[in-house]
Amino acid sequence: MELNETKVEELDVESAVNFALFAISDASRFWIEASLEQKQRFQQSLFPDGLASVWESNPCRRREG
């Protein structure tokens, strides 16, 4: 690995850490200001396998009658 590649990787890690600190420190502000792509990437990093929907396994149904 060359020195330039090492510096780029260090910057990438530092950027990722700074972004995570920002997102965690004020999650509601992050969510309001984030683009759709940023939200999707953030969700993917937190839940790489996705989330199961309650609606899929137990849909809420209106009582008829």
Tens digit of each residue's pLDDT (9 = 90 or more) over 22-60:
878 888 888 899 899 988 888 888 888 887 766 655 556
Distance CA 57, CA 7 (A): 47
The confidence score (pLDDT) of residue 37 equals 93
The confidence score (pLDDT) of residue 43 equals 86
- Specify the pTM: 0.50
Backbone CA torsion sign across 32, 16, 44, 25: negative
Q: How many CA atoms lie within 13 A of 11 on its CB side?
A: 6
The confidence score (pLDDT) of residue 12 equals 78
